Chain A
Amino acid sequence: MTVVAPALDPRVRTALSELLLTMADDEFVSGFTDSEWTGIAPILEEDVAMSSISQDELGHARALYELLATVRDDGRDADAIAYDREPAQYRHARLLDHIRGDWADTIARRFLYELADEARLASIGPGYPPLADLVAKLRREERYHRMHVTVWIDRLANGGSDARGRLARALDALAEDAATVFTPLSGEPELRRVGILSRPLIEAEAAWRADLTSILVPLGLPVPPAAATVRGRTEHSEAFRWLWGEFTNVRRSDPGAVW
């Protein structure tokens, strides 16, 4: 995707780069984790659906990394940003740092993340037109992901004691990290000032919490507590180090190769 970056004030450039990296890393790690289901999902339609959703998320990550490459303009392209970092340099939310787990773990994680991503995308203002244009496009696609995961939340919650029990345990295990998509950004005041963010992330988190509540409470499932310990975006798990080894394996096997 060719994007000519409008001239940016250095402080805005730094703040925008931080935001884009968090958004791109979230979509990238989520896409890779869920692509683990390709070939082994519980039913054929779900194999196709989860593969398609993962492909969407990786495509969104690519578009965001490409935009980040134009904003930084330091010679690193989208692939270099996506693959040529050490695990500690990734900035995805801790929520996405968990192993794939069973189907209930995956649905619980996707549910918390999709609704958080939706609230974040709804917070992107017109301040940087190339990002606003891309976000308008992403939101049209994400509505299918929301539809998919909310159907599954309902199905597992009403699907007998084993399914319901697994879903409840999965939501409980993720509760501590649920809100980490909204980890404060150091450049947030700058992003607010120039209209790249149209509302503070804390307001986006409140909107997300209201959204979760409207779905979980009627199903009799607990909403993750607001005072959860926030491990943020910098502390990564062993599960992520394993995933990193997988998704960088081909790239590291022959650095600089042209595929």
Chain B
Amino acid sequence: MIALQPAPRAAARVDAAAVRGLLETVHDPEIPTISIVDLGIVERIAVTEAAIEVDLLPTFVGCPALEVIKGSVIEALSPLGRETHVTFTWSVPWTSERISARGRERLAASGFAPPDEPADVRCPYCQSAKVAMDSAFGPTACRSLFYCRDCRQPFEAFKPI
């Protein structure tokens, strides 16, 4: 069961902080454990009397989730009652270093190794360094397949990019 966010009172201030707060509830459908804010794809928020503008950085150019994310952002910001424009931009390349510390913790807690060069990847279950990359390519463009030789678990790791 997914609890709906309570709608802010009509008098609530519509500013960048309010927008960011609501964006904390939006997730990339392929990485549901962390918000798009923790994923580091929110590049710019601008609020005017007429509209809210949000610029997002795609993680991968061919990411098929972009339209879904755009729709989720518009839906999440709808309680603010302003027209919302979502733009994807390459003007700053998204890199895996943009994932926040909290984002990295949450990825690890759900069995995804956060992005590191292959030699630095640790098993998200037992923290062992005795891991092997099975394939640089995983179920989505942004993930690789690993195997832990200590706890004998396969796991996925975010690609450093």
Contact = CB atoms under 8 A, between A and B. Distances in A.
Contact of A2 (B64, B88, B138, B159): B88
B62 A133 contact: no
Contacts of A148: 136-137
Nearest to A64: B61
Given A49-B137, A55-B64, A59-B62, 7 more contacts: A45-B134, A48-B139, A49-B136, A52-B137, A60-B61, A62-B62, A136-B93
B151 to A, nearest CB: 21
B61 A53 contact: no
B130 to A, nearest CB: 20
Interface string B128-161: 0000001111111100010000000000000101
B78 interface: no
B5 interface: no
Nearest to B144: A144
Interface of A: 1-2, 45, 48-49, 51-53, 55-60, 62-63, 129-130, 133-134, 136-138, 140-141, 144, 147-148
Instruction: State the main secondary structure of chain A at its contact with B.
Output: helix
Contact of A133 (B64, B87, B90, B140): B90
A66 to B, nearest CB: 10
Q: 6 nearest interchain CB pairs?
A: A59-B62, A49-B137, A52-B137, A45-B135, A133-B90, A137-B93
Interface in B77-104: 87-91, 93-95
A52 B140 CA distance: 7
B13 to A, nearest CB: 28
B87 A2 contact: yes
Nearest to A61: B62
Interface residues of B, number: 24
A49 to B, nearest CB: 4
A113 B141 CA distance: 20
A45 B137 contact: yes
A59 B139 CA distance: 16
B63 interface: yes
B90 A137 contact: yes
Nearest to A4: B87
Nearest to B136: A144
A60 B62 contact: yes
A109 to B, nearest CB: 18
A140 B161 contact: yes
A60 B91 CA distance: 16
A52 B141 contact: yes
Interface string B98-117: 00000000000000000000
